[in-house]
Amino acid sequence: MHVLHTRDRHVSAAGGAATTQCADITLPRDELESVWSPEYLERLARTYWLWITRISLGLLRVLYSEDGRDVVLLRRPFVLLKFFAPEYDVDRRGGTVTWRINRGLLVAPEGRGEGYLRMTVERRSENPEQGTVTARITSQVANFYPTLRGRGWFARIGRWIYRYTQLQIHIVVTNGFLRSLANLDLAPSVVGSLRGSTPGVPDDAEFEALRRLQAEHSLRQETGGGGGADAGGASAGREAAA
């Protein structure tokens, strides 16, 4: 496992903040193939939320609802970050899971519904001689409007405070999570909307499940009931997995 350099694109005085962390993991081809399926993207998402609770010694908890995920300080109503339910995009070369930011105590009013947190897994290279494959795991936050930055004249000071406090904590936590993936010990999905018939082996059933979830999401948007809901559509609430 090799954690790459953090790309902190910008923390502007007015627009959204963005940061990206990524890591390369090189494994024997057979070992990587055993976990290369939509099911394991779902499990990666679940593992991330469990990591947040673990690293905060239980102070931060992730609560599931029919339409999203809430990161709370101990319990509601102290909702620090409220996300819409996850959106999955998967093919045989990799995939992404995106949680779009809804609102929360850490989100400025002008940033509600604007940004997102995204995890991406993709194949990068293969070494046939050694029989290994390198995959890249990326965590990206984009267009996030932090409450801590403030407004008006204070934004210049608030931007500095955010950069060296909340943003640094996020980077440390995320890099720790990426390092923890070296052994690929991924938490099981609670329901497993994308689980195939053979664990670790991508099959048509998984991709059909994904197409169904994406169709439900599109239908919700067309009928005005989606507004950032997940590509998992109706099943996202049942699936307290990611």
Is the model's pLDDT at 47 over the cut of 50? yes
- Residue 228's pLDDT is 41
Which of the four pLDDT bands, split at 50, 70 and 90, describes residue 43? confident
Partners of residue 62 on adjacent β-strands? 71
pLDDT grade, residue 239 (50/70/90)? very low
Lookup: tokens for 141:
């936050």
User: 130 versus 10: which is more confidently predicted?
Assistant: 130
Backbone angles phi and psi of 68, in degrees to 5: 175, -165
Res. 226 pLDDT band, cuts 50 70 90? very low
What pLDDT is recorded for position 78? 93
Alpha helices in 56-165 (DSSP H): 154-164
Domain ranges of the chain: 2-225
Total-model pTM: 0.77
The whole-number average pLDDT for the span 162-191 is 84
Closest of 23, 37, 136, 32 to residue 90, by C-alpha? 37
**112 CB-side CA count, 13 A:** 7
Instruction: Tell me how far apart the alpha carbons of residues 235 and 239 are, in angstroms, rounded to a whole number.
Output: 6
Q: What is the pLDDT of residues 144-156, one digit of tens each?
A: 999 999 888 888 8
